[in-house]
Chain A
Amino acid sequence: MAETTSTAPTTTDLVRGTLEGRRVNPVNTLVSGLLLIALLSSLLVLAVLLADVFGKGWGLLTERGADFLTTPLSPNAVDAGIFQGVMGSIALTAIVIVVAFPLGVAAAVYLEEYAPTNRLTQFITTNIRNLAGVPSIVYGLLGFSVFVNLFSGATGGRTVITGGLTLALLVLPIMIITTSEALRAVPTALREASMGVGATRWETIRHHVLPVALPAILTGSVLTVARAFGETAPLLLSGAVLSLYFAVPPEAGFVSLMTEQSYTALPMIIYNWARQPQEEFVALTSAAIIVLLAMLLIVNAAAIVARDHFERKST
């Protein structure tokens, strides 16, 4: 007998149990087997992907060790490292956090806590959902037109600031949506309790709603920022350099990394190396992917575990 989704057996179950006994239904077994195969094959792909990348890149990574991270880019596979990519990605992520997190939370707070239900609010909400579905390369065009050209005075043109702002706009809608969900999960009773003793809206939000929603907001934001960390397409258009020669050398320091028109990022390096025809670059690319995935997996796993932890606590 197949098991039901309900926790307590219903009368139907009991009756069916006695009628059918322990007989295995072949169709049931077949269907559930096929479904499980569907699920497991996606996970198998993940496993194969990891095995493949590790198989190709692990050797190089262990051989080169930390040097791989601290060596600058080079057109020769033997001595190429990912230094500028790691630095660029960290700088981009920092800008995304600084710009998208406060803006996203503020917008979500407005929509969930303040906004009246009217056409304007409706329009804003629909608009945000649609923005979340715009392909990331289109954001690249936006970044190119607005940050590289229009506001080049402020951004310095093809700088890491331009890239960071572009990625920030890309993740902003997702940030708003996840934060809104977190706010919606806060019980109304809590707001009533606070307003009931004479707190204003903002006091209620700051002292009660945000603290309760914070774990969910943070885990959602971490996952969102992780997405920006792995993005490549928008950077293609908003000025990240691909050339093996032009990226800022490590000696130049952090300031010029921010202001020079020649930043790059880890995913950009991976893209570029993956396109090189020489066989040596396969190992190099794989090693860079291992670094990228390691950074991402740590962040993702931490966020998912944290969320599960909070979920279990609240139920």
Chain B
Amino acid sequence: MSVTAPQVPMDLSGDPRRQRRERRVRSLFFVAAALSIIISAAIVLSLAGEAWGFVTAVDPASYFENGWLPRRGRYSILTIVWHTLMVSGIAMVVATPLGLGAAIYLSEYARRNVRRFLKPTLEILAGVPSVVLGFFALNFITPNVIQPLYAADRSNLLAAGIGVGILIVPLVASVSEDAMRAVPRALREASYGLGAKKWHTSLRVVFPAAISGIVAALILALSRAIGETMVVALAAGTSGILTWLPDSSGLTMTGAMADLAIGSDQVTSATAVQVNPFQSLFFVGLMLFVITLVLNVLSERVVRRYRQKY
């Protein structure tokens, strides 16, 4: 072998054409990713302007009077917020036991092949459009489940709550199942090692260990329930009068938005209307945006805390 060093100095500068293409592609993809920021900004801006118009035109004291009746210039935030709370509360009462039960069963009890069959079925339930569940709540749940037991109107908030609850069961189930499956095997084995029974291990060991993931799942589900529109728009009717019980029709935040959007309440009579009802839509939209954002961030926080544990 010869002693000679390489005669020509090495050129490691590479192919400029390929480098240019690389830079182009990269910036293109960056733009696509950055678009999400523009979308967020657009949401906030498009909501804020009109919402501000609403805030300046409507006396805040009237937020707490009875009745969301835009046609008559009455904007009771209290009414629609309370109805929203009732619906999402009922939804959580329905979805929490069903969703968590399903999650524990799938994660701790189901054999592989059973899981293989049941899990996709849950996913199909998750794929049912909310307008279909709305129809089901209005035409099946109310007449066949609620009315035989409880003197409720044809349109009522209870049916809407149950419908929304069914809608969020798959979400609760899948997110909390993930949390439970993330619990290390060693923990379960330690529990068995101490002579614990299966039920004790699943409910007293695995479940608490996964609790932050489960809480995050529930917060996420609550956020989804608050923002759900079609079930409520169909099952809860269009009454703008405040009701403390879920037995009658009532507009929720989303229900009020849908109602304004389809125009049944847009007729502005000359009497006592100082504000364009359409502006209230943006105000409610902004409230909805902020509430769900806060809940989502909260659930994210909770999840991050539980990730650190393992």
Contact = CB atoms under 8 A, between A and B. Distances in A.
B105 A39 contact: yes
A49 B128 contact: yes
A39 B101 contact: yes
Interface residues of B, number: 97
Given A36-B109, A237-B261, A271-B233, A42 B32 contact: no
B197 A226 contact: no
Nearest to A19: B195
Given A31-B199, A127-B37, A135-B228, A236 B130 contact: no
Interface in B82-138: 97-102, 104-106, 108-109, 111, 116, 118, 120-125, 127-136, 138
B210 interface: no
B158 interface: no
Interface in B194-215: 195, 197-199, 202-203
A227 interface: yes
B107 to A, nearest CB: 8
Nearest to B192: A12
Contacts of A139: 43
A134 B104 CA distance: 28
Contacts of A255: none
Nearest to B203: A31
Interface stretch (B2-10, B57-65, B292-300): B292-300
B224 to A, nearest CB: 8
A127 B22 contact: no
A103 B198 contact: no
Counting chain B CB atoms within 10 Å of each CB, the highest count among A144, A236, A242 belongs to: A236
A131 interface: yes
A35 to B, nearest CB: 4
Contact of B122 (A31, A42, A308): A42
A135 B254 contact: yes
B43 A292 contact: no
Given A114-B30, A131-B40, A293 B229 contact: no
A260 B143 CA distance: 40
A163 interface: no
Contacts of B292: 133-135
Interface of A: 2-6, 10, 12-13, 16, 25, 27-28, 30-32, 34-39, 41-43, 45-46, 48-49, 52-53, 56, 103, 106-107, 109-111, 114-115, 123-124, 126-131, 133-142, 144-146, 169, 172-173, 176, 200-202, 223, 226-227, 229-233, 236-237, 242, 267, 270-271, 274-275, 282, 285-286, 289, 292-293, 296-297, 300-301, 304, 308
11 contacts: A4-B188, A25-B197, A36-B109, A53-B135, A110-B26, A134-B289, A138-B289, A145-B46, A232-B130, A267-B129, A274-B135
A-B residue pairs, 4 tightest by C-beta: A38-B101, A135-B227, A230-B129, A145-B46
